[in-house]
Structure 1
Amino acid sequence: MTLPIPSTFERFGDTGICGFGMRKTAMKKGIKYRLVVNFGIIICLIVIVFEMLFLISVQKYYYGNASETLNRQAQMAASYYNRYAAFPSLKEKARYIFENRVGDKFSFVEVIDRQRNVLLNSYGFSGGVHENTPDISAAFKGEVHVWRGKDPETGESIIAVSRPLKTEDRIIGVLRYAVSAEQLDSTVARITAIALITGGLVIAVSFALSHVLAKRMVQPIKELTAVAEQMARGNFQAKASRVRDDEIGILADTFNYMSREIAKTEELKNDFISSVSHELRTPLTSIKGWGETLLSGDLNDREELQSGLSVISRETERLTELVEDLLDFSKLQSRKMNLRMERLDLNRVVEDVREQFSFKNEEKAIRLTVRREEEPLEIEGDSDRITQVLVNLVHNAIKYTPSGGKVEITTRRRKEEACVEVDDTGMGIPSEELSRITEKFYKGKSNQSGSGLGLSISKEIVQLHGGRLDIWSDPGTGTRVTVRFPLGPKGERSA
Structure 2
Amino acid sequence: MLRGIRARLITYITLVLLLIVLLLEGVFIVAVHYYYLGSAMETLSSRATTSATFFNKYLEGYSINERARYILENLSTEESSKVEVLNTEGNVIINSFGFSSSERIDTPDVRTALSSGKGIYQSLTPVGGERIMAVSVPIKEAGANIGVLRYSVSAEPLYDVIVTIVLNAVWVGLLVILFGFVLSLIIAKRIVGPIQQLTSVAKEMATGNFSAKAEKQHNDEIGTLAVTLNYMSEEILKSEKIKYDFISSVTHELRTPLTSIKGWGETLLMGDLSDKKETLQGLEVMTGETDRLIGLVEDLLDFSKFQAGEITVDLQPYDLRGLLEDLLLQFRYRGQTKQIRLYADIPDQPLPVNGDMGRLKQVFVNLLDNAFKFTPAEGAVSITAAVQEELIIVTVTDTGEGIEAADLEKLGTKFFKGRSRQSGSGLGLAICKEIIGLHGGRIKIESEFTVGTSVIVELPRYIME
Question: Highest relative contact order (Cα 8 Å, sep 6+), 1 or 2?
Answer: 1
What SS is found at the alignment partner of 1:262? Answer: helix
> What CA distance in whole angstroms lies between the structure 2 residues aligned with 1:244 and 1:343?
60
Question: Hey, what does 1:260 align to over in structure 2?
Answer: 234
CA-CA distance at 1:422 after TM superposition: 1.8
TM-score w.r.t. the length of structure 1 is 0.71
Q: 1:351 aligns with which of 295, 313, 325?
A: 325
Q: 2:214 aligns with which of 231, 240, 251?
A: 240
Q: 2:458 aligns with which of 485, 490, 494?
A: 485
CA-CA distance at 1:48 after TM superposition: 1.1
Q: Does 1:51 align with 2:22?
A: no
Q: Is the contact made by 2:400 and 2:453 (CA closer than 8 Å) also made in structure 1? A: no
What SS is found at the alignment partner of 1:357? Answer: helix
Question: Hey, what does 1:121 align to over in structure 2?
Answer: 95
Question: Hey, what does 1:231 align to over in structure 2?
Answer: 205
Question: Hey, what does 2:447 align to over in structure 1?
Answer: 472
Question: Hey, what does 2:41 align to over in structure 1?
Answer: 67
The residue correspondences of 1:270-285 to structure 2 (distance < 5 A) are 270-283=244-257
Q: Does 1:387 align with 2:361?
A: yes
> What CA distance in whole angstroms lies between the structure 2 residues aligned with 1:434 and 1:149?
91
> What CA distance in whole angstroms lies between the structure 2 residues aligned with 1:76 and 1:467?
103
Question: Hey, what does 1:16 align to over in structure 2?
Answer: none
The one-letter code matched in structure 1 to 2:447 is W
The residue correspondences of 1:416-495 to structure 2 (distance < 5 A) are 418-429=392-403, 437-444=411-418, 446=420, 448-462=422-436, 465-475=440-450, 479-485=452-458
Greater mean deviation of Cα atoms: 344-353 or 159-168: 159-168
CA-CA distance at 1:317 after TM superposition: 3.6
What SS is found at the alignment partner of 1:235? Answer: coil
The one-letter code matched in structure 2 to 1:39 is I
Q: Is the contact made by 2:367 and 2:455 (CA closer than 8 Å) also made in structure 1? A: no
> What CA distance in whole angstroms lies between the structure 2 residues aligned with 1:193 and 1:331?
78
- CA deviation map 1:319-347 (0-9, x unaligned): 43223322332333344445556676655
What SS is found at the alignment partner of 2:235? Answer: helix
- Structure 1 pair 125–483 and aligned structure 2 pair: CA distance change class (3 A): same
Q: Is the contact made by 1:342 and 1:380 (CA closer than 8 Å) also made in structure 2? A: yes
Q: 1:147 aligns with which of 118, 122, 147?
A: 122
> What CA distance in whole angstroms lies between the structure 2 residues aligned with 1:145 and 1:166?
18
- Structure 1 pair 97–269 and aligned structure 2 pair: CA distance change class (3 A): farther
Q: Does 1:195 align with 2:166?
A: no
The one-letter code matched in structure 1 to 2:427 is L
> What CA distance in whole angstroms lies between the structure 2 residues aligned with 1:63 and 1:457?
90
- Structure 1 pair 201–343 and aligned structure 2 pair: CA distance change class (3 A): farther
Greater mean deviation of Cα atoms: 392-401 or 315-324: 315-324
Q: Specify which structure has the higher proportion of helix.
A: 2
> What CA distance in whole angstroms lies between the structure 2 residues aligned with 1:247 and 1:151?
61
Q: Is the contact made by 1:85 and 1:93 (CA closer than 8 Å) also made in structure 2? A: no
Question: Hey, what does 1:321 align to over in structure 2?
Answer: 295
> What CA distance in whole angstroms lies between the structure 2 residues aligned with 1:115 and 1:459?
112
TM-score w.r.t. the length of structure 2 is 0.75
- Structure 1 pair 375–77 and aligned structure 2 pair: CA distance change class (3 A): farther
> What CA distance in whole angstroms lies between the structure 1 residues aligned with 2:301 and 2:83?
108
The residue correspondences of 1:7-22 to structure 2 (distance < 5 A) are none
> What CA distance in whole angstroms lies between the structure 2 residues aligned with 1:319 and 1:167?
132
- Structure 1 pair 149–253 and aligned structure 2 pair: CA distance change class (3 A): closer
What SS is found at the alignment partner of 1:239? Answer: coil
CA-CA distance at 1:427 after TM superposition: 4.7
> What CA distance in whole angstroms lies between the structure 2 residues aligned with 1:379 and 1:175?
115
What SS is found at the alignment partner of 1:481? Answer: strand
Q: Is the contact made by 2:351 and 2:392 (CA closer than 8 Å) also made in structure 1? A: yes
> What CA distance in whole angstroms lies between the structure 2 residues aligned with 1:188 and 1:223?
52
Q: 2:67 aligns with which of 87, 96, 101?
A: 96
> What CA distance in whole angstroms lies between the structure 2 residues aligned with 1:142 and 1:367?
126
Greater mean deviation of Cα atoms: 120-129 or 132-141: 132-141
> What CA distance in whole angstroms lies between the structure 1 residues aligned with 2:36 and 2:150?
20
> What CA distance in whole angstroms lies between the structure 2 residues aligned with 1:141 and 1:306?
139
Q: Is the contact made by 1:379 and 1:485 (CA closer than 8 Å) also made in structure 2? A: no
The one-letter code matched in structure 2 to 1:229 is K
Matched length: 457
The residue correspondences of 1:176-195 to structure 2 (distance < 5 A) are 176-195=150-169
Structure 1: stretches of 5+ with no match in the other structure: 1-27, 491-495
Question: Hey, what does 1:12 align to over in structure 2?
Answer: none
